[in-house]
Amino acid sequence: MGTACSCRMKGCAQGVPLALVQELLCLDHYIDQAFVRLRAALELCHKGCPVDARTLDWLFNDAEFAVQSLLQKGLTPSSAQRVRVLELLLGLANLQEYLRHHSVVVRRNE
């Protein structure tokens, strides 16, 4: 079986891929959440405001979960899900390039 449990989002009966068990989100809700965080980080960058390091860590490190979900045996993601993951990865690459070429303050919360 390709899923471990049900998504934690109210009203969602989709299964949680094994790669996303830590988040307790189905692939669709995970991608939705990632896009919200990505847009927020980009908006802060464009305004010249500090960007939270935890948000960046979540975006860059946990993007791997979405990719793993697409590759997981027993799970057949839809073509729309595959496209959304690819769009997310492209957005993350653009954010990383923006951070590399601009003076953006990354706020570390200790």
Where are the chain's structural domains?
A: 26-107
Other C-beta atoms within 10 Å of 74: how many? 9
Q: What is the reported pLDDT for 39?
A: 93
Closest CA to 23 of 76, 31, 10: 31
pLDDT value, residue 32: 93
**Predicted local distance difference test score (pLDDT) of residue 1:** 42
Q: Give every residue of the chain whose pLDDT is below 70, as ranges.
A: 1-4, 62, 65-66, 69-75, 109-110
pLDDT given at position 73: 61
Taking residue 108's Cβ as centre, other Cβ atoms within 10 Å add up to 9
Q: Token match 């305004």: residue?
A: 47
What span, in angstroms and rounded, lies between the C-alpha atoms of 69 and 103? 34
pTM of this structure: 0.79
Q: Give the model confidence (pLDDT) of 82-109 as tens digits.
A: 899 889 989 998 998 888 887 777 777 6
